[in-house]
Amino acid sequence: MNALEKWLTLRPSFGSGGPATPATPATPQAAGSHPVADVAVVAKGPGPRPDAGPANDTPEAWRRWYHRTVDYRAIVGKRTLAEALPLAYGDAVCEWHKRFGASPPEGVCAGCGGPLEGQGVYSLHDGARLHDDGCLTRYGRRWRTAAVEGLALLGISPPPGWEP
Ligand SMILES: [Zn+2]
């Protein structure tokens, strides 16, 4: 079972109607392990954009937020589930990095670890400073890989085809 199939079994309301036309509200029993409040979110629509991130750092809060983010990307963004999942997962990767990512080293390139000298140094919003595109790619892959591993520990798997 791949991540998309697993998602569909977890979200019976998406199984028949698709994200653009949510099925009739699922009963708490049909929702399996999902709390009743989460079912209400699907029944009423996704609600406000879940920009604030998970309410806390328990696996349950992260998964609930991730499901809300997928709902938001699918329903408000009018996307298919296959399109919404990687976008929501990307949101989760960024949120994980913001909360738990290692601080970039000071005074050296976050990509290669070399000294920073001269002009043309990239400065990123997380404080990382980098030499060039190669160092940017290396640093991005490193923090995204760490986030994917952290999300897996919270029970959130990457959707099919997602690459750090
Ligand atoms: Zn570098």
Q: What is the pLDDT of residue 49?
A: 64
- Residue 158 · residue 89 · CB < 8 Å: yes
- Residue 51 · residue 76 · CB < 8 Å: no
The Å distance, Cα 86 to ligand 1 centre, comes to: 29
Domains of the chain, by residue range, sit at 3-153
Helices (H), 32-132: 36-44, 59-71, 81-100
Question: Residue 138's pLDDT band (boundaries 50, 70, 90)?
Answer: very high
Question: Residue 6's pLDDT band (boundaries 50, 70, 90)?
Answer: low
The Å distance, Cα 129 to ligand 1 centre, comes to: 8
The Å distance, Cα 108 to ligand 1 centre, comes to: 8
> How much is the pTM?
0.69
Residue 43 has phi, psi (to 5 degrees) of -65, -40
- Condensed to tens digits (0 to 9), the pLDDT of residues 53-84 reads 999 999 999 999 999 999 999 999 999 999 99
